[in-house]
Structure 1
Amino acid sequence: MRSYPKTIAQLTALVTEGIVPGISYVIFDGPAEIRRVQGLAQTRPFPETLVAGMKYDLASLTKVVGTVPVIAMLIQEGRLRLADPVVKYLPAFGDPRPTIRHLLTHTSGISGYIPHRDELAPVALKRAFLTAMHVDSSFNRQIRYADVNFLYLGWIIEKLCQAPVQEVIANRILAPLQMTGATFNPAPATCVPTEIQPQRGLIRGTVHDPKAYILGAHCGCAGLFATLDDLLTFSRALVETNLAGLLTPAMVDCLFSDQTPLAGEHSRSLGWKLLHSRAADHHLLISHTGFTGTWLILDRQTDQGMVVLTNRVHPTARNQVYLDRRDQIFATYLHEMQAN
């Protein structure tokens, strides 16, 4: 197996330089793995050592680990089409132009401001997202990453499956893949804390994202907690066995290729961001990040990947240096994964 010395040094520096309290990661290369758990689970109100098996708030990794596979399965079953307009399932939205494909590729142009959003009750928040948003000039022209796209996808899943989206994800993805530590309702003591906020105090075992905190089981953009082993199980299944047979090879092909409706080549598949390999053929890899300090990079063609879990928002989300370092680590890893 490749040794990834520069990537590992940069991951370790996140902890030793105090950029994140602790880190859990695995780099896999075929059957071989490099795995580390180091640092602290929390620094405040008192230091607590990070141990293997703790659950992390995955934030937006919920989108690609949960919501995207369910949408893909519904497409395979003929219950949903990429070309379907959003209003077919969510008529309160009103605009006939954005489609399921636009939501998945963040090309919907759906935007808007909801006053006092984080103070609304669940029903009022959903109504506001459906009725107070508009489609701006970026529609079908630009990729603009936005949670609202996956809120809508979650509610479309609920319409088709007649159950809360998080319940559907648990039944259709987490259980079949035997992601035994993954849950939307963890025991707080098993979780790595996130931010300390004036209103909520130390957030531990409840979702950090304010929309997901309000919407609960009806949120498809965030809310999932999982261990490093859970994400390794998911990652290997996706690149090695078409998600343990839950997806067809053709559907997984779609996850690893540009699916935007825009002219030319772009950096989005169905839910995932696309990266170019540094190999001679420059084949495409998939990646996604989570606001709380999580990320995945997966290469189906070479059976390689990196799963990284941190709580970079602890004790505060003001942590720009982490974002800069993350970009550097991505570049280093893409280079080293092709080294002899």
Structure 2
Amino acid sequence: MSLLVEQIKNLVREQVVPNVGYAYLNQGQWIQGQYGVNTWQPQVSPLPAHPLYDLASLTKVLGTTTVLLNLIEQQKLTYDTPVKTILPEFSSEQVTLRHLMTHTSGIQGFIPHRDQLTAKQLMQAILQLPVTSDFNRIINYTDTGPLIAGWMVEKICQQPIQLVIQELVLQPLKLPMATFTPNPSQCVVTNQRGFHWLRGEVHDPKAYQLKQHCGSAGLFAGIPDLIYFSRWLLGQVQPASAPVSQKILKQLFQSFTNVAPGRSFGWNLLWGQQKQPILYHTGYTGNFWLLDRWQQRALIVLSNRVHPINNNQRFLIRRRAIIDNFLNARSN
């Protein structure tokens, strides 16, 4: 545990990132901390007392995946519902919800002049992307699958995916800070858009365009939110209003596709020393999250690795070392 914490703090000490928020959960106990400053540019500035981070793609697993599991448990969807039965304008009859959420859909991702499109135009363009020969053959992580899955939710629930996440996940779990509409003064600064620094504005370009219709990014949250959600996923807390049963949550800790090396539904999978499945996901802005239900452990790291520049390769190398340490450690 101490080595993990030192590795995380070294991200700041060695100026890989301006700051980190972190938590290590082990057998129902946890330590958490905050370290560093909010910004290096245009000048050094301190962190707010209870900082909110742009979760980026952690939105996919905390929000959209959980909503989908809720609808599956209510029998409004199945893992193998064809996308086209919910969204008739979709380009393929083969692709199912499972393909979208295991990143095996084979959907071609390139959209010309994407940033010039309106939200409606972007949605239409994504739904018309062709399915390639990679279908059900290769795992290719993109935001396309969770975006389309979010629009399936919108069709069923008749409201934008971010409002559904608010109503079916954030409110029932009583997450204390998580929101799609943060107070900028509480937020950690990421990168620049145009000539201003992003603070409380989503970093992801598609999320910026799609706004409430984006289920792949857009959520802001703090360490306390992810601690509580982790404890729920590990089966340590069972709130009366939980959006999904523990039976369904347990099933996440396995592969949902036969395509090697396998992926869970929404989540990635890694494997611990005892070959136990560990849920894993990252967020582009500098976040990563691991959950080991077998050993009752979790690791949460939130940062702004995109400040002041997006292409921070040093962070990716250090992230791998921290993950390896977590995977090789045993529960105390």
Query: TM-score higher than 0.5 here?
Result: yes
Counterpart-to-counterpart distance in 2, 1:339 and 1:174 = 29
Over 3 Å counting, the alpha-carbon distance change for 1:122 and 1:243 in structure 2 is: farther
Q: Which residue of 31, 36, 46 corresponds with 2:33? A: 36
Q: Tell me if the contact between 1:102 and 1:261 (Cα under 8 Å) persists in the aligned partners.
A: no
Q: Which residue of 278, 285, 290 corresponds with 1:292? A: 285
Instruction: Name the counterpart of 1:252.
Output: 249
3-state SS of paired residue (1:27):
strand
3-state SS of paired residue (2:285):
coil
Q: Which residue of 223, 231, 240 corresponds with 2:235? A: 240
3-state SS of paired residue (1:155):
helix
Instruction: Name the counterpart of 1:27.
Output: 24
Q: What TM-score, normalized by structure 1, do the two folds share?
A: 0.94
3-state SS of paired residue (1:301):
coil
Counterpart-to-counterpart distance in 2, 1:180 and 1:109 = 37
What per-residue deviation string (whole Å, max 9, x for no partner) do you get for residues 173-202 of structure 1? 0011111211001111110010124x2520
3-state SS of paired residue (2:68):
helix
3-state SS of paired residue (1:266):
coil
Instruction: Name the counterpart of 2:50.
Output: 53
What per-residue deviation string (whole Å, max 9, x for no partner) do you get for residues 57-88 of structure 1? 00000000000010001001111011111111
Instruction: Name the counterpart of 1:105.
Output: 102
Q: Which residue of 263, 275, 283 corresponds with 2:270? A: 275
Instruction: Name the counterpart of 1:202.
Output: 197
Counterpart-to-counterpart distance in 1, 2:256 and 2:312 = 32
3-state SS of paired residue (1:171):
helix
Deviation at 1:316, TM superposition (A): 0.8
Deviation at 1:277, TM superposition (A): 1.3
Q: Given the alignment of the two structures, is residue 159 of structure 1 paired with residue 155 of structure 2, yes or no?
A: yes
Instruction: Name the counterpart of 1:220.
Output: 215
Percent identity reads 42
Counterpart-to-counterpart distance in 1, 2:41 and 2:18 = 10
Counterpart-to-counterpart distance in 1, 2:21 and 2:175 = 17
Letter in 2 for 1:169: I
Q: Tell me if the contact between 2:109 and 2:142 (Cα under 8 Å) persists in the aligned partners.
A: no
Q: Tell me if the contact between 1:268 and 1:274 (Cα under 8 Å) persists in the aligned partners.
A: yes
Q: Tell me if the contact between 1:209 and 1:223 (Cα under 8 Å) persists in the aligned partners.
A: yes
Instruction: Name the counterpart of 2:318.
Output: 325
Deviation at 1:315, TM superposition (A): 0.8
Over 3 Å counting, the alpha-carbon distance change for 1:29 and 1:339 in structure 2 is: closer
Instruction: Name the counterpart of 2:8.
Output: 11
Q: What TM-score, normalized by structure 2, do the two folds share?
A: 0.96
Over 3 Å counting, the alpha-carbon distance change for 1:241 and 1:74 in structure 2 is: farther
Counterpart-to-counterpart distance in 1, 2:103 and 2:202 = 23
Q: Can you give the 5+ residue segments of structure 2 that lack an aligned partner in the other structure?
A: none
Instruction: Name the counterpart of 1:186.
Output: 182
Deviates more, 1:252-261 or 1:172-181: 252-261
Query: What is the aligned-residue RMSD (CA, Å)?
Result: 1.4
Counterpart-to-counterpart distance in 2, 1:172 and 1:223 = 16
Q: Tell me if the contact between 1:102 and 1:108 (Cα under 8 Å) persists in the aligned partners.
A: yes
The aligned runs of 1:51-200 (5 Å cut-off) are 51-131=48-128, 133-197=129-193, 199=194
Counterpart-to-counterpart distance in 2, 1:104 and 1:112 = 15
